[in-house]
Structure 1
Amino acid sequence: MRKITLALSAACLLSGFHLSAAARESVPAPLNPGVTVAQLAQQIPVHWVSVAQIENSLLGRPPIAVGFDIDDTVLFSSPGFYRGQKEYSPGKQDYLKNPEFWEKMNNGWDEFSMPKEVAKQLITMHLKRGDSIYFVTGRSETKTETVTKTLQSDFLIPQNAMNPVIFAGDKEGQNTKTQWLKDKQIKIFYGDSDNDITAAQDMGARGIRVLRASNSSYQPLPKAGAFGEEVIVNSEY
C-alpha cells in the first residue's frame, strides 16, 4: 500500500511539473523594456502602397509630370558618399560642402551606385503611361555631370524621354526642391527624405515615400509615414 501511495505521489509531482512548464510556455514574452503599450498605441498607422496600387490609381488619367529624388530613392549611392567622406573629411560631414567631392560624385562615382529595384518598376510604369519624368536632386551643381547619362542607362529611358537632371542644391533652412516641382508642374514626387515629402505637399503634389536602405550612409533613417504620405512597401532596395 505504501508503494502505491509513493507511486501516486510521484505521478502527481511529475504531472504538476509538466503543467507548470506548459503554463510557462503559454505566457507571452514581455514587451521590450524600452517600449510600453501606451507608446505602441501612439504609433501613427502607415499608409502602405505597392507599385501596382499606384498604377491603378492613375488608370484613366492623362499623362502627367512625375519627379524622383536620386540618392536613396532611385540609386543606392552610399559607396560614392562613403568614399568621399573618407577622402575629404574622415569622420565628418564637411565633404558635403567640398566642390571637389561633388565634381567626383557627379562625374563618375555613380558608376558604383546601384539602381534600386523599386525605381526600375516605377520608372517603367510611368514610361508606359507616357508620363514626363524629372530627376530632382539636392546635390550641388557642377560644371559638368554624367548623372543624367547614368540614370538613362540604368533605367533604360529612351533619349527623347530623358530630361537633364535638376541639381536643386542644399541650402540650410530652405527646401530647394519646392520651386522646381512647381516649375515643372510635377503631380507626383517620389523621395526618401522628409524634405522630399514636404516639398511635394507644399505645392499640392502627391508625395510618395520610398524607403531608405538601413545601411545607407545617410543617417538617421527618417520616419516613414510621418506626414501621412503613402509609403511604398519593400522599397528599401
Structure 2
Amino acid sequence: MNHTLRSMTLVLTCIASLSANADPKTPGTHKGYSTIDMTTAGMPKDVKMISVADLKQEFQGKAPFAVGFDIDDTTLFSSPVFYRGQQEFSPNSYSYLSNQKFWDKANCGWDKFSMPKHIAKELIAMHQQRGDSIYFITGRTGSKCHFTTEYLKKTFDIKNMHNVIFAGSSRTEYTKTKYIKQHDIKIYYGDADGDIISARNAGAEGIRVMRAANSSYKPIPKNGIYGERVLKDSQY
C-alpha cells in the first residue's frame, strides 16, 4: 500500500476499507467478493445473503432495540461530495481529507448532493415501524453544524432523530466501537470492513451493505470476508 493510500486510511478508516482483501488491522477469515465480482459473476453460494424481508421476519416479536448506520456508501451515495472536495482542495491527491475546510463543506451543505440509497430507505422504514432507535455513526471528521443530521432526518423521514455521531478515525483503534457500546446498539449496518469489526468489538452484529461498484472510493471491499451477513441488492 503506497503512502497516499496510507494517508487516506487514517482519515477514512471507518468510512471504507482501502485493502482489497480486508481491513489492514484485522485479517479476513473468508474469501469475500466485491460488488463488482457479485454483479458480473452472480451471487456466490459461500456468502450469507439476506434481505430486508428476512430481517423483518427475524425481528418479529422482539422488543425494540437500537440499530446503527454508517453514512457514506451505506445510507448515502456521497461520491459527488468527495469528488467535488478533491477537485477544489487537492486535485490529484488525497490531502483534502485532512483539510477541515473540506469537512465543513461536506458536513454543512454539500451533503445535499448525496443520494439516499434505496436499501437504506427500506431498512430505516422497517426499523421505524418496529419502534427501534436509529443512530448514525460516521468516520468523518466533525464540523460545528447539524446539516447532515437534518438532511438524514428529512431524507429518511426519521421520527426520533439523534444527532449524527462523528467518530473520526484512528490508526490504532476502531473509533466507532465505543459509540456502538455506549448506545447499546445491537446491529450496525456498514459497507466497510471496519464497520463489521467495530460492531463485533462492541458485542453487536455487523451487517454488510454492499458498496456501489461506481463509488469513487476504491478498491471496493470484499463482501463476506469476515463471514458476516450481506444484504441483497444493497449496492444501490
| TM-score between both structures, scaled by the size of structure 2 | 0.80
Separation (CA, whole Å) in 1 of partners of 2:134 and 2:163: 10
Give the counterpart letter for 2:207 in structure 1.
I
After TM superposition, give the deviation of residue 206 of structure 1 in Å.
1.0
Matched-pair identity in %: 54
Tell me the SS of whatever aligns to 2:67: strand
Separation (CA, whole Å) in 2 of partners of 1:206 and 1:44: 21
| TM-score between both structures, scaled by the size of structure 1 | 0.80
Tell me the SS of whatever aligns to 1:71: coil
Partner residue, 2:225: 226
1:73-222 mapped onto 2 (5 Å cutoff): 73-158=74-159, 161-222=160-221
Partner residue, 1:235: 234
* Aligned residue-pair number: 194
After TM superposition, give the deviation of residue 44 of structure 1 in Å.
8.2
Tell me the SS of whatever aligns to 1:66: strand
Partner residue, 1:65: 66
Q: Which 4+ residue blocks in structure 1 deviate beyond 4 angstroms? A: none
Partner residue, 2:29: none
Tell me the SS of whatever aligns to 1:81: helix
Matched-pair contact (CA < 8 Å) for 1:115–1:154 = yes
Separation (CA, whole Å) in 2 of partners of 1:193 and 1:91: 24
Matched-pair contact (CA < 8 Å) for 2:189–2:195 = yes
Separation (CA, whole Å) in 2 of partners of 1:55 and 1:94: 42
Give the counterpart letter for 1:137 in structure 2.
T
Root-mean-square deviation over aligned CA pairs:
1.3
Task: From the CA coordinates, give the structure whose radius of gyration is larger.
Answer: 1
Gapped regions of structure 2 (runs ≥ 5): 1-43
Higher relative contact order (CA closer than 8 Å, sequence separation 6+):
2
Separation (CA, whole Å) in 1 of partners of 2:183 and 2:128: 17
Separation (CA, whole Å) in 1 of partners of 2:88 and 2:172: 27
Separation (CA, whole Å) in 1 of partners of 2:204 and 2:45: 22
Matched-pair contact (CA < 8 Å) for 1:139–1:168 = yes
